[in-house]
Amino acid sequence: MSLERSDVEKIAHLARIAIDEDKVESYAADLSKILGLVAQMDAVDTEGVVPMAHPLHMSQRLRADKVTESDNREKFQRIAPQTEAGLYLVPKVIE
């Protein structure tokens, strides 16, 4: 399995990561090598094996639907790149 330039550009868009033009080739080469390593999985017969998502086979705990957190908005927004009136600012999305 080897990845082309266009594959890397497509995945980078899906992951919302800008990749420098002159580095796309080296990402394609490295990712192809990793896929080569991962290809060892292809030969394994896993018919009937249950996928293991988690080591402890536990189920998700539930809690009462009550407010447990206090309001820390000011503290959390102090480290934000740009805020106004308690809101996070981003470039205009809707014209």
Partner 1 sequence: MFEQTISELSAALRAGEFSSVELTRAYLERISQLDGELNSYITVDAEGALAAAAEADRRIQAGDTSPLIGIPIAQKDIFCTDGVKTSCGSRMLDNFIAPYDATVITRMKQAGMVMLGKTNMDEFAMGSSNETSWYGPVKNPWDLERVPGGSSGGSAASVAARLAVASTGTDTGGSIRQPAALCGITGLKPTYGRVSRFGMIAFASSLDQAGTMTRSAEDAALLLQAMAGFDTADSTSAEEPVPDYSATLNDDLSGLKIGLPKEYFGEGLSSEMAKTIHAAIDEYKKMGAEVVEISLPNTHLAVPTYYVVAPAECSSNLSRFDGVRFGHRCEEPKDLEDLYKRSRGEGFGDEVKRRILMGAYALSAGYYDAYYLQAQKIRHLISDDFTRAFKEVDVIMGPTTPDSPFKLGEKASDPVSMYLSDIYTIAVNLAGLPGMSIPVEPMKGLPAGLQIIGNYFAEAKLLNVAHRYQQQTDWHRLIPEGYGA
Which stretches of the chain bind partner 1, using CB under 8 A? 3, 7-8, 11-12, 14-20, 23, 27, 30-31, 33-34, 36-42, 44, 46, 49-56, 58, 60-61, 63, 72, 75-76, 78-82, 88, 90-93
User: Shortest distance, CB of residue 12 to partner 1, whole angstroms?
Assistant: 6
The tokens describing 38, both together, are: 């991962």
Instruction: Give exposure, 2-25, as e/b (b: 16+ Cβ within 10 Å).
Output: ebeeeebeeeeeeeeeeeeeeebe
* CA-based end-to-end distance of the chain: 43
Query: By C-beta, is 49 or 67 nearer to partner 1?
Result: 49
User: Shortest distance, CB of residue 79 to partner 1, whole angstroms?
Assistant: 5
